Structure 1
Amino acid sequence: MAAFITFEGPEGSGKTTVLQQVSERLAKEFEVLKTREPGGVPAAEQIREILLEGEAVDDRTEALLFAASRREHLVEKVLPALKAGKIVLCDRYIDSSLAYQGFARGIGVDEVRAINEFAINGLYPDLTIYLDITAETGRQRIESNARNMNRLDHESIAFHQRVIKGYKDLIAQEPNRFKVIDANQELETVVEATYSAIKEFLNKQ
């Protein structure tokens, strides 16, 4: 059973941890590929380093680099896995670009969507899990754990509030694709809610 499921949310929402735990549970029942953006394949990982660890670049350059990374990752990893009938769980995808670069950076959601639709060639997720927390809670979580902060983590609270507003607009436009999970709860509760949402979706396929 092939399915493309993406995980989205603001910084500190716990996406990576939740995805890891959910993928381990799903792997007992299905063939699962866990991956991430930007990155996932060598060329895209090199772009990731520029985007998250390098010096600041022009906003439009940033958007183009994310789209280029996305294309390479899609062609090399995601599409072959889907063709092989796997369930692909991806940490971030096109909605991140729309929320971060299109909305929060102010480039324009339609403009960023255009370059990304060229990159993805029509492949939108079958289901998108959105882990919902406030920008303030996300910042507190990042500062309290041992993770290294990347360039986006250092953006202002106002920037991250705009990111969340961008996501909420996207969810309102496509409510059937998104499943919103309250990420303020205990990790075990969030993982269970996410796993249940994915299982419910898969059972309907």
Structure 2
Amino acid sequence: MFITIEGMDGSGKTTAIAPIKECLESLGYKVLLTREPGGHKVSEEIRKVILADYSEGMHPWTEALLYIASRKEHIDKVVVPALQQGYVVISDRFMDSTSAYQGNARGLGIAKVNEIQEIVLDGCIPDLTIYFDLNMEEAERRINKRPELKNRLDRENLDFKLKVKDGYDQLVKSFPNRIKVIDANLGIEEVQQQTKKIIVEAIEKWKVQT
């Protein structure tokens, strides 16, 4: 089963993933955690280009296509082989990030970006996506507390980030069967418990259907 975790920067999705892996492994599942952009050596190199300060101001389509190119390598070299070996694959970000960030916030259009992704990804769509929904004030507070340096997307203005959130809200409405929403404003333990519950139930249902 292919599961993706989505959300604004600061939503806590990355923090929540490791305990989920431990939970699923304790239930007997093989689990692979991965991330985007990245997850494979070529994809990680593309990640460096995307997030580098020198890439500030790159054309929105250049940015979107770099993400999609990184994703194609990630799918072919990591995700699909792991799924074929019976792993539950959990990716920190996937196609919905590009739809929200570049499609909506950069103004390329969600439908247009999705059309290109569907062609390039050749049907590799997540079975389940969990969206960590967080209010903007809390997201900014968490980002500002990070000890590490902010990348260029962390430093985007509030208008851009509000458009990203609006993009995610549109995706939730468009794909309610695939995308499940978690209130990321709650405490980390409660967020993790809700996430585990959704994933375990989805896997059990998926096993019956397959």
Both proteins in one fold, TM over 0.5: yes
Report the counterpart of residue 204 of structure 2 in structure 1: 203
Report the counterpart of residue 195 of structure 2 in structure 1: 194
User: How far, CA to CA, are the matches of 2:76 and 2:21 in structure 1?
Assistant: 22
Report if the CA contact (8 A) 2:53-2:151 is conserved: no
Report if the CA contact (8 A) 1:70-1:119 is conserved: no
User: How far, CA to CA, are the matches of 2:204 and 2:149 in structure 1?
Assistant: 38
User: How far, CA to CA, are the matches of 2:109 and 2:165 in structure 1?
Assistant: 15
**1:50 has 2:49 as partner:** yes
Q: Shift of the alpha carbon at 1:118?
A: 2.2
Partner AA of 2:88 in structure 1: I
Report the counterpart of residue 167 of structure 1 in structure 2: 168
Q: Map 1:100-119 to 2 at 5 A.
A: 100-119=101-120
Report the counterpart of residue 90 of structure 1 in structure 2: 91
Q: Shift of the alpha carbon at 1:52?
A: 1.1
Report the counterpart of residue 6 of structure 1 in structure 2: 4
Moved over 3 A (4+): none
User: How far, CA to CA, are the matches of 2:4 and 2:10 in structure 1?
Assistant: 17
Report if the CA contact (8 A) 1:4-1:127 is conserved: yes
Report the counterpart of residue 25 of structure 1 in structure 2: 23
Report the counterpart of residue 178 of structure 2 in structure 1: 177
Report the counterpart of residue 14 of structure 2 in structure 1: 16
Report the counterpart of residue 75 of structure 2 in structure 1: 74
CA RMSD between the two structures? 1.0
Report if the CA contact (8 A) 2:130-2:181 is conserved: yes
Q: Deviations over 1:164-186 (max 9, x none)?
A: 11111111011111110011111
Report if the CA contact (8 A) 1:38-1:48 is conserved: yes
User: How far, CA to CA, are the matches of 1:85 and 1:188 in structure 2?
Assistant: 29
Q: Shift of the alpha carbon at 1:137?
A: 1.2
Q: Shift of the alpha carbon at 1:146?
A: 1.5
User: How far, CA to CA, are the matches of 1:118 and 1:43 in structure 2?
Assistant: 20
User: How far, CA to CA, are the matches of 2:136 and 2:108 in structure 1?
Assistant: 21
User: How far, CA to CA, are the matches of 1:202 and 1:119 in structure 2?
Assistant: 26
Report if the CA contact (8 A) 1:64-1:115 is conserved: no
User: How far, CA to CA, are the matches of 1:158 and 1:15 in structure 2?
Assistant: 22
The normalised TM-score by structure 1 is 0.96
Query: What are structure 1's unaligned runs of at least 5 residues?
Result: none
The normalised TM-score by structure 2 is 0.94
User: How far, CA to CA, are the matches of 1:16 and 1:81 in structure 2?
Assistant: 20
Q: Give the number of aligned pairs.
A: 203
- Percent of pairs identical after alignment? 45
